[in-house]
Amino acid sequence: MPFAEFLSGLVSLATTCQTSTAVPFNCGIGIPLQNTFLVICEAIGVNLLYAFGRRRFTNVEKMRRYNAEMKAFRSEMSEATKSGDKTKVEKLKKKQQQMQKMQAEISMDQMKPTLMFMIPLFGVYYLVRIFVGINTVLAFAPFPIQLFNIGPPLDINFFWWYFICSFTFSGIVSRLFGLTLD
């Protein structure tokens, strides 16, 4: 119940913003905040579930080791190419096939949880999308986005809001679960 009380408090805040004349800026007029926070929670939940799957079904230490080896190989190859050492370049080209094999193995390991969770996560995405509404404005961009040559405020619908939230929380959740390869 505390979450419901939190949401009702946010709704009353939005109502206050709508009726207040002392607020000199647009503070969310017409934005259903409970839907905005629902999409944020969905993005966090999806990222947590995916991180749990990656942690459970992949060997993160092996992937880190492979990634470090490939990084060292690329660095060594770059140095050999820059210095013009043809014998070293030829030697490294023989090792390149092994590096490609390691890269393919990393890709397959990362693909396992993606394939396992893809259908259920699409289901959750579409259920929330139906509940929220695809064209419902969930946020406003406070600055013009020159890519689209549109001035403020730019209405952000469900797809873009989910994309922004998911992108924002994926790095945080990956670091919390220790899934970064660096």
CB atoms within 10 A of CB 139: 20
Tens of pLDDT, residue by residue, the chain (182 residues)? 565 565 465 455 445 444 433 333 344 456 778 888 999 999 999 999 989 888 888 888 888 898 899 899 889 888 888 888 888 888 888 888 888 898 898 888 888 888 888 888 888 889 888 888 888 888 877 766 655 555 555 778 888 889 999 999 999 998 998 888 76
What Å distances lie between residue 144 and 24, 140, 147, CA to CA? 19, 10, 9
Residue 61 CA neighbour count, 13 Å, CB half: 0
Question: What pLDDT was estimated at residue 158?
Answer: 86
Q: In whole angstroms, how large is the CA radius of gyration of the chain?
A: 23
pTM here is 0.67
